């Protein structure tokens, strides 16, 4: 190689890479060393033969090729050509190198890892599960949902891995194939190891775009899965009859203060087979919706009110205060701040004072129930008939609490608009 490059150093004007015109070669052989003379002559001859080979017929060319292959100068020339090619190819390709897609690839990788798709196989660890727990703040029911989710996720992971394996296999197969081919050809063609390496890199690059597509679509699949399974809103199930029963019972029997304590919530949750936060949600929704359109809840209210009222009276009749109601004290023994501006409240106001009796909270419950009963049976039928009126335990501000001013007790027939002022939605 050393000699060879020295040998050709004089003949090769830099950049005249592949096709040095033979005559120039000869012309260039001006002041050669004594021993180089015949060598150069020889080289020029060979090059001329090579150049001419394409003009010959196939058979002729084949024969000539074989002859050249056996030429004593062949190895030297060959390595020189390799050298030259290496340099020119490098100067052409060396400029543009990889990188741009790396950021994206990193993101995808990170996500797949975070989702537990590309990570270590084991299940039960905290990727998606942890996200689910934190995102909603609701440690709720569905272990079924989660196992379903996990099943689908592992399905995705399985597909991902098998595809990845296929991809890797194909990649290495193709790479070795190309490498073998190149190595084989390197005997007849100037192909340097470096070039082979570069080729391998190119192949890997192409394959990695395929890999990225795989990762991309896997990510999408995971995202879709997440949104379908872990966003609880999408997987909403109505509560059981039992649950709504329990909740409504409490709500309507504590209508004047439908804010269950933490213990009460726990009790309700237990009874209804739902979680405490679901109870909280339910009460939040119920309060706001009841307030917004009380007329709509009339019937329901009456049902539950009557029901609990009956229960309550039974209890009282039997000898009071035994009761250990599942939901003790809502607003507790103190004042309820029942909100005025209600129709039947004048009458009931006095009853409210029983509150402080030893029976305590239980009475309040009965009170609330009685409100409805009285309401329904009494002289307010006509008013109640108007959906806008209904039972009003809410003050003009729409508040269940405070509501200090007993102002409009006297004008239940007042403007209907004042209560449901917000109307439509």
Partner DNA sequence: ATAGATGATTATTA
Partner DNA sequence: TAATAATCATCTAT
Cα–Cα distance for residue pair 209/298, rounded to 1 Å: 64
Does 400 contact DNA by CB under 7 A? yes
CA separation, residue 242 to residues 35, 188, 237, 273 (Å): 109, 85, 14, 8
Rounded to a whole number of angstroms, the minimum distance from the CB of residue 298 to DNA is 12
Q: Which of 234, 242, 272 is nearest to 148 (CA)?
A: 234
Q: Which of 304, 305, 306, 383 is nearest to 344 (CA)?
A: 383
Kindly identify the residues of this chain, within the stretch 296-315, that bind DNA according to CB under 7 A.
Answer: 296
Judged by CB under 7 A, which of 67, 185, 188, 259 binds DNA? Answer: 259
CA-CA-CA-CA torsion sign (346, 259, 369, 385): positive
Rounded to a whole number of angstroms, the minimum distance from the CB of residue 140 to DNA is 5
Judged by CB under 7 A, which of 137, 334, 358, 417 binds DNA? Answer: 137
Q: Pick the closer one to DNA by CB: 66 or 234.
A: 234
Q: Are 214 and 164 in contact (CB under 8 A)?
A: yes
Rounded to a whole number of angstroms, the minimum distance from the CB of residue 269 to DNA is 11
Does 24 contact DNA by CB under 7 A? no
Kindly indicate which of the ranges 30-38, 102-110, 156-164, 393-401 contains the residues binding DNA, using the contact rule CB under 7 A. Answer: 393-401
Does 281 contact DNA by CB under 7 A? yes
Write the burial class of residue 42 (CB in 10 Å: 0-12 exposed, 13-18 middle, 19+ buried).
middle
Judged by CB under 7 A, which of 228, 356, 385, 411 binds DNA? Answer: 228
Does 238 contact DNA by CB under 7 A? yes
Q: Pick the closer one to DNA by CB: 100 or 137.
A: 137
Which residue in this structure is represented by tokens 């009965």? 366
Rounded to a whole number of angstroms, the minimum distance from the CB of residue 375 to DNA is 21
Helix (H) or strand (E) holding 295: helix 294-319
Cα–Cα distance for residue pair 254/260, rounded to 1 Å: 9
Q: Contacts with DNA: how many residues (CB under 7 A)?
A: 35
Does 387 contact DNA by CB under 7 A? no
Q: Which of 132, 329, 342, 105 is nearest to 218 (CA)?
A: 105
Judged by CB under 7 A, which of 124, 187, 234, 324 binds DNA? Answer: 234
Does 64 contact DNA by CB under 7 A? no
Both tokens assigned to 384: 């109640």
Q: Pick the closer one to DNA by CB: 118 or 364.
A: 364
CA separation, residue 204 to residues 7, 31, 104 (Å): 38, 49, 17
Does 285 contact DNA by CB under 7 A? yes
Judged by CB under 7 A, which of 29, 56, 244, 352 binds DNA? Answer: 244
Does 187 contact DNA by CB under 7 A? no
Q: Are 86 and 194 in contact (CB under 8 A)?
A: yes
Cα–Cα distance for residue pair 114/79, rounded to 1 Å: 51
Rg (CA), the chain: 45
Judged by CB under 7 A, which of 69, 91, 104, 135 binds DNA? Answer: 135
Does 181 contact DNA by CB under 7 A? no
Both tokens assigned to 416: 């209907």
Judged by CB under 7 A, which of 21, 101, 273, 284 binds DNA? Answer: 284
Kindly indicate which of the ranges 49-57, 158-166, 173-181, 282-290 contains the residues binding DNA, using the contact rule CB under 7 A. Answer: 282-290
Q: 162 — phi, psi (to 5°)?
A: -65, -40
Judged by CB under 7 A, which of 63, 288, 346, 377 binds DNA? Answer: 288
Does 146 contact DNA by CB under 7 A? no
Q: Where are the alpha helices (DSSP H) in 321-380?
A: 345-352, 361-377
Rounded to a whole number of angstroms, the minimum distance from the CB of residue 347 to DNA is 25
Q: Pick the closer one to DNA by CB: 152 or 235.
A: 235
CA-CA-CA-CA torsion sign (237, 238, 244, 245): negative
Q: Pick the closer one to DNA by CB: 140 or 323.
A: 140
Q: Which of 270, 392, 395 is nearest to 327 (CA)?
A: 270
Both tokens assigned to 85: 């090619």
Does 235 contact DNA by CB under 7 A? yes
Kindly indicate which of the ranges 103-111, 159-167, 196-204, 396-404 contains the residues binding DNA, using the contact rule CB under 7 A. Answer: 396-404
Interface residue list for DNA (CB under 7 A): 135-138, 140, 228, 231-239, 244, 259, 277-278, 280-285, 287-289, 291, 296, 398, 400-401, 422, 425
């Amino acid at each position: 190689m050393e000699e060879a490059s020295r040998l050709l150093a004089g003949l090769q004007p830099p950049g005249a890479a592949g096709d040095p015109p033979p005559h120039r070669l000869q012309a260039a052989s001006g002041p050669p060393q004594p021993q180089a003379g015949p060598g150069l002559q020889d080289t020029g001859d060979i090059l001329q033969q090579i150049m001419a080979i394409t003009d010959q017929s196939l058979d002729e060319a084949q024969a000539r090729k074989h002859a050249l292959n056996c030429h004593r100068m062949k190895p030297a020339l060959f390595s020189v050509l390799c050298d030259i090619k290496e340099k020119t190819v490098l100067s052409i390709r060396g400029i543009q190198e990889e990188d741009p897609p790396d950021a994206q690839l990193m993101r995808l990788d990170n996500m797949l890892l975070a989702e537990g798709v590309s990570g270590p196989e084991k299940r039960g660890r905290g990727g998606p599960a942890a996200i689910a727990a934190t995102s909603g703040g609701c440690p709720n029911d569905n272990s079924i949902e989660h196992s379903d989710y996990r099943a689908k996720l592992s399905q995705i992971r399985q597909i991902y891995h098998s595809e990845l394996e296929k991809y890797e296999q194909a990649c290495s197969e193709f790479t070795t194939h190309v490498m073998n081919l190149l190595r084989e050809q390197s005997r007849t063609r100037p192909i340097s190891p470096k070039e082979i390496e570069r080729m391998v890199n190119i192949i890997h690059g192409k394959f990695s775009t395929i890999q990225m597509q795989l990762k991309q679509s896997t990510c999408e699949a995971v995202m879709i899965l997440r949104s379908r399974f872990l966003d609880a809103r999408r997987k909403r199930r109505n509560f059981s009859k039992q649950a709504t029963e329990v909740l409504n019972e409490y709500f309507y029997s504590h209508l004047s203060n439908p804010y269950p304590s933490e213990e009460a919530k726990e009790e309700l949750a237990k009874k209804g087979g739902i979680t405490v936060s679901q109870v909280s949600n339910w009460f939040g929704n119920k309060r706001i919706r009841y307030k917004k359109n009380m007329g709509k809840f009339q019937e329901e209210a009456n049902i539950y009110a009557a029901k609990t009222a009956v229960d309550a009276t039974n209890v009282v009749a039997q000898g009071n205060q035994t009761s250990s109601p599942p939901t003790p004290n809502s607003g507790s023994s103190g004042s309820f701040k029942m909100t005025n501006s209600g129709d039947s409240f004048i009458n009931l106001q006095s009853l409210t004072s029983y509150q402080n009796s030893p029976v305590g909270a239980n009475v309040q419950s009965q009170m609330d129930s009685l409100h409805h009963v009285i309401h329904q049976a009494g002289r307010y039928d006509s008013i109640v008939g108007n959906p806008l009126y209904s039972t009003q335990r809410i003050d003009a501000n729409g508040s269940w609490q405070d509501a200090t001013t007993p102002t409009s007790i006297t004008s239940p027939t007042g403007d209907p608009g004042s209560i449901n002022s917000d109307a439509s939605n």
